[in-house]
Amino acid sequence: MILLVDLCYEKYSLSMYEFVFPIADIVKRAKVRYDIMHHSEVGLITAEKYDKIILCGTALKDGIYLENMDSFSWIKECTRPLLGICAGMQVIGSIFGGRIISQPSIGLQEIDIVKETSLLGKARQIEGYHLHNYGVTLPQGFEHLVGSSDQVEAFKHEERFIYGITFHPEVRNKWIVDRFVKLGYEHVEEIFNR
């Protein structure tokens, strides 16, 4: 079962329809069960009950999560695979020592995958949908996967199964969420042969 963490300003906000429910639809199509919880309800004990965790994005004007970074301290100790999308990547980066920086971007852009990984595949260029005001610097202990040297668009922890991506795969690259959901299951080979 997968935990989808809602980073929106309040529980059951309208932003869920844009940033959480599209992720839930991808997980549902993969035939994997999930729960949705607001970030204010999640701690280490709750997180460890799930197989994997996805920190969903939130609206451009919604920065409430930035004011509550202490509530995400459980991420450092969590042993579950974790994917942070947009605001979720900022949270992960900040918890591990990166700095949240101004980095506004809206719309489709060509992005460079600079390092091959099981989640993003081979190094190549893809088109990604951006909708964010902030980015995060690369924390110590993480590998830069996507973007230029001055704009980290995806990273991975060097030792743990923790990924962050600043663009929105639920809009343009649903296969990324699908691949994260399926990684570690027996039918993983068919995923990589597309």
63-81 as b/e: b if 16+ CB within 10 A: eebeeeeeebebbeebebb
The DSSP 8-state label assigned to residue 180 in this structure reads H
Q: Is the pTM of this model over 0.75?
A: yes
Q: How far is it, in rounded angstroms, from Cα 55 to Cα 79?
A: 15
For residues 154-173, average pLDDT: 96
The percent of the chain in helix, strand and coil, each rounded to the nearest 5, is 30, 35, 40
Residue 17's domain is classified under what CATH number? 3.40.50.880
Note if 144 is an active site residue: no
For residues 89-106, average pLDDT: 95
SS3 55: strand
Out of 39, 130, 132, 168, the active site residue is 168
The confidence score (pLDDT) of residue 192 equals 38
Out of 8, 86, 130, 153, the active site residue is 86
Range of the domain at 125: 2-192
Task: Please check the confidence at residue 41 and state whether its pLDDT lies above 70.
Answer: yes
Note if 170 is an active site residue: yes
The confidence score (pLDDT) of residue 135 equals 93
Note if 110 is an active site residue: no
Q: Residue 185's pLDDT band (boundaries 50, 70, 90)?
A: low
Out of 8, 56, 132, 170, the active site residue is 170
Domain count, the chain: 1
